[in-house]
Structure 1
Amino acid sequence: LVLQKTTAEVARAMNSAASVDVKTTLGTDITFGVQGRRARTDDGDFKAPGKGGNLPCGEVFLSPALATASGTIVFDGSLTLEKTLTISEPVKVTIAKGFITEIEGGKEAQKLKAHVEKAETKPFEMAKRGELAKKEAEDYAKNARNIGEFGIGLNPKAKIVGNVLEDEKVLGTVHFAVGSNYDQDALALIHSDGIVKDPTVAIDGKPLMKEGKLVL
């Protein structure tokens, strides 16, 4: 019940907002718009017919408004590519107008870069085989660099273990996904989650989290 109350409060705050800022001491400093976007909750309450989710529960997430994200994200928790990797050296991602322009760091950064580049070229191979129309292929390729999700972990018992379904729920973290979004207006072949630890989050300038601690 406490988790359900917290997720509802965070979702309410995000649904009434126009913009979100996220910063960390490691260098994350990103702003994005959320107007017209609806926050979704995974609170573990699956009692209603047809309702479902994944476990452990405990997150609020949404698709940033298209072409609004600009700044820097430094992933330092885990990163999901073909499988989930725990990060040994922070992965610095530079974003302009909603899209990644640069990926820097160690071996995990190189793996993310290769993952994105593959998602940029594969749609055109699919188009050649008739599996995608040319315009679809162009959109899928472009959106391989899209920032498709922002989420806030709210489960105090979850830990970063190298499994995205638990990692993204950890209280004191946020996550961003590279690629496809949930609102279906930016489709890609990938949706790769990266975890950011101990963030400071402000919604329309009002603090929501300070260095990983909720200040609702």
Structure 2
Amino acid sequence: MKSKKGAKVIIETCMGVKPGENVLFVTQEGFEETANILASEVSVLKANPVIKIVKGSEMEVEPPQEVVDLMLSSDVILAVLDLRYLQLFAHMNARARATNAGARAGLVPFILWDITEEDVLRIKNLTERLAEIMGEGKEARISTALGTDVIMSIKGRPVQQLKAVFTEPGEWGAVPFYAEAAVAPIEGTTQGKAVIDVFMERVGAIKQPMEWTIKDGKLVEIKGGKEADMLKQIIKEADENATNIGELGVGTNHFFKNFTGTIGDKMVLGTIHLAIGKSINIGGKVMSNIHHDAVINKATLEIDGKKVLDRGKCLI
């Protein structure tokens, strides 16, 4: 019953599923129960659920062609996958093609039974307000007590809204709680030092903070312990654009207060994250075979000199 309550919020509030719509579930072994619970709520609304099970290995770069075809013929797409594959799915060309064609896409790691419609709408409103501020801004500056001090140009760049509510054609993001406003910095403009102290994708929870030196939009030096060594290896094995600073993201979820050592940490209100690698699918111009987020806690964020966050406290 608890899962059913959470599923109802995802299907009705987050995705706004309507009677007659074609709703595709892309899922993997171990997640079928979650997909079935969500699909039952789709059926209650007299919409048309289709569940497609894939192997994780089939989702490393792009989905199988059969899945792509289904995505392009669906009104709503719900990816019910492991967090790792959800992150990959978000930046796939297939996802971009489907949403550009008008599909609404939701990324679902699990059903959060105790989140309410009111929580979801609060997340939506904050994300929209922050995205408006960032979208009108020219320069962003991030700083922390640990020594982060980074500036970048964001002038003219579209702001992606992962706002937990995706009811308009072409909208996409994670549901029911995963929330951020994100922008791709103008290539070559990011400068400064960033201290990564929470989490980094493919590295894990950060025990010894990593210090990044960024010059002309590239990560040029990494200092730290084991985590820094892991990141150096990731970059070594990636392509020539792996060091591009491809994203500034700002968490907008008030619901979670504690870090989990997973990619979900980047949604927590009061954090920001910087990504290395690909930016082309979020409004930038750089293609890479990686896109990895690194989370910074208790951040101060200024847009054109005006504080939006102050040491993790939201000011809007």
User: Which band: TM-score by shorter chain?
Assistant: 0.7 to 0.9
Q: Is the 8 A contact 2:184 2:284 kept in 1?
A: no
Say which SS state the counterpart of residue 110 (structure 1) adopts. Answer: helix
Counterparts of 1:22-101 in structure 2, within 5 Å, are 22-49=142-169, 51-55=171-175, 56-81=177-202, 85-101=204-220
TM-score scaled by structure 1? 0.85
Larger radius of gyration: 2
Which residue does the alignment assign to 1:154? 252
Other structure's SS at 2:242 match: helix
Does residue 211 of the first structure (1) align with residue 286 of the second (2)?
Answer: no
Change (3 A) 1:184 1:16: closer
Give the structure 1 partner of residue 262 of structure 2: 163
SS of corresponding position for 2:295:
strand
Supply the distance in 1 between the matched residues of 2:134 and 2:170 (Cα, whole angstroms): 25
**1:102-143: CA deviations, max 9, x gaps?**
0000100110111011114xxxxxxxxxxxxxxxxxxxx1x1
Structure 1 Cα separation of the partners of residues 278 and 135 of structure 2: 21
Name the CA shift for 1:46/1:68 in 2 (closer, same or farther; >3 Å): same
TM superposition shift of 1:36? 1.7
1:155-207 per-residue CA deviation (whole Å, 9 max, x = no partner) reads 0123421221x211101100000111122511111111100000111000011
Q: Which runs of 5+ in 1 are unaligned?
A: 121-140
CA distance in 1, matches of 2:166, 2:156: 26
CA shift at 1:5, angstroms? 1.3
Q: Percent identity?
A: 33
Letter in 1 for 2:200: L
Gaps of 5+ in 2: 1-120
Aligned pair partner of 1:194 in 278, 294, 300:
294
Equivalent position SS for 1:178? strand
Q: Which residue of 2 aligns with 1:112?
A: 231
Correspondence for 1:127: none
Q: Give the TM-score, by structure 2 length.
A: 0.59
Aligned-residue Cα RMSD (Å) equals 1.3
Moved beyond 2 Å, runs of 4+? 46-52
Asked if the contact 2:133/2:303 (under 8 Å) is kept, the reply is yes
Helix, strand or coil for the counterpart of 2:293? Answer: strand
Q: Does the Cα contact within 8 Å between 2:246 and 2:284 map onto a contact in 1?
A: no
